[in-house]
């Protein structure tokens, strides 16, 4: 897990780690903008097949918002398009408006984002000077708190669902306060089960790659999937690796439950799904 530095894209980080580990089979579990730093979990080798099961977890962020200025990208990387000349809101006004974001809210994806319109990323259209209509998406804010009030900047902490644009939160906050605003800085402190206490800066990861310590940093997938675990007998493992169903444990497993199947070497063989009649069907089989 990488502590992404500011200025790099998530893909830049993936490319760097591919070179460190000598494999193309690296994927990330949730994009961070170049402006943002913090937790960027990576899936390595066979674990890239598990990305669909690991995406979608809740996220936590710490960010700074500059009030009184709006930018075209909704963050500090963009050009200022509007300035507020009047007084900025009070701390109490900000706290009251922040509360209104808690719960289910709708966000319109920013033009400078990876969302695709007819197969073309919005950020590509934005760089061509085009703006297209986007459909709002629903996200959930579990917590949003003001942790520092030092106008024209404020600092907030946010716990939210996957897919939340904190840039859009900053801009929408500015609109509701009547003064405009943009995201000045952002750090992701948690992504699903991964916290920033486990994240390693890229230069530290490079040193571990040179010393041969990097492999020890890879977390076994079964430790983070959070699925019930079954251990396969050799004949069951052979059948699962070839896509066949097996009979589940005596204890009933509700249909639809996903199960992590371990082989004789205690390594993850596949993700199975419980079916009626105590059957377990492979959803994703890892290579040997």
pLDDT at 127: 78
Q: Distances from the Cα of 280 to the Cαs of 49, 137, 264, 269, in angstroms?
A: 19, 34, 18, 13
Q: Do 186 and 67 fall within a single domain?
A: yes
Instruction: Identify whether residues 41 and 145 lie together within a single domain.
Output: no
Q: What pLDDT score was predicted for residue 157?
A: 98
Short-list 129, 125, 138, 177, CA closest to 154: 177
**What does each of the 288 residues of the chain score in pLDDT, given as a tens digit?**
899 999 999 999 999 999 999 999 999 988 899 999 999 999 999 889 998 888 778 999 999 999 999 999 999 999 999 999 999 999 999 999 999 999 999 998 887 777 777 777 777 777 777 777 788 899 999 999 999 999 999 999 999 999 999 999 999 999 999 999 999 999 999 999 899 998 999 999 999 989 988 888 888 888 889 899 999 999 999 999 999 999 988 877 899 999 999 998 889 999 999 999 899 999 999 976
Same domain, 100 and 154: yes
Asked if residue 74 and residue 19 are part of one domain, the reply reads no
Same domain assignment for residues 120 and 244: no
Residues involved in catalysis: 33
Domain CATH code at residue 264: 2.30.130.10
Q: Are residues 172 and 263 in the same domain?
A: no
- Domain housing 145: 59-191
Same domain, 103 and 89: yes
Interatomic CA distance for residues 223 and 258, integer angstroms? 14
- Give the pair of three-digit tokens for residue 145: 């708190």
DSSP H helices, the chain, are 10-21, 51-54, 91-99, 122-127, 166-177, 202-211, 222-225, 234-241
- Domain shared by 105 and 8, yes or no: no
Pairing of strands 200-201, 80-83: unpaired
Number of domains, the chain: 3
Give the per-residue pLDDT at 58: 93
pLDDT of the residue at 111: 72
Q: Verify that 144 and 110 share a domain, yes or no.
A: yes
Burial 211-223 (b: 16+ CB within 10 A, else e): eeebeeeeeebbe
- Cα–Cα nearest to 94, from 156, 158, 187, 161: 156
What pLDDT was estimated at residue 288? Answer: 63
Question: Do residue 73 and residue 143 come from a single domain?
Answer: yes
Same domain for 108 and 171, yes or no, is yes
- CATH number, domain at 116? 3.30.2350.10
Is residue 48 domain-shared with residue 76, that is, in the same domain? no
């Amino acid at each position: 897990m990488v502590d992404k530095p500011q200025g790099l894209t998530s893909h830049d980080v993936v490319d760097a780690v591919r070179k460190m580990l000598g494999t193309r089979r690296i994927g990330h579990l949730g994009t961070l903008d170049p402006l943002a730093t913090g937790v960027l979990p990576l899936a390595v080798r066979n674990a890239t097949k598990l990305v669909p099961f690991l995406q979608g977890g809740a996220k936590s962020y710490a960010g700074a918002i500059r009030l009184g200025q709006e930018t075209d990208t909704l963050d500090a990387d963009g050009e200022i398009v509007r300035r507020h000349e009047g007084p900025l809101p009070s701390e109490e006004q900000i706290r009251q408006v922040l509360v209104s974001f808690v719960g289910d809210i709708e966000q319109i994806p920013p033009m400078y984002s990876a969302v695709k319109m007819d197969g073309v990323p919005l950020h590509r259209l934005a760089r061509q000077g085009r703006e297209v209509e986007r459909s709002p998406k629903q996200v959930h804010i579990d917590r949003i708190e003001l942790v520092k009030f030092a106008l024209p900047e404020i600092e907030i902490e946010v716990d939210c669902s996957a897919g939340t644009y904190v840039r859009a939160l900053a801009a929408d906050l500015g609109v509701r306060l009547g003064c405009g605003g943009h995201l000045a800085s952002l750090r992701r402190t948690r992504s699903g089960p991964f916290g920033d206490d486990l994240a390693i800066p890229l230069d530290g990861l490079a040193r571990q790659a040179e010393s041969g310590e990097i492999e020890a940093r890879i977390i076994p997938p079964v430790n983070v999937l959070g699925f019930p675990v079954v251990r396969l007998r050799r004949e069951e493992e052979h059948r699962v690796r070839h896509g066949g169903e097996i009979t589940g444990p005596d204890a009933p497993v509700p249909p639809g439950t996903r199960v992590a199947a371990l082989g004789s070497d205690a390594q993850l063989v596949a993700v199975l799904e419980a079916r009626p009649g105590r059957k377990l069907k492979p959803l994703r089989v890892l290579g040997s």
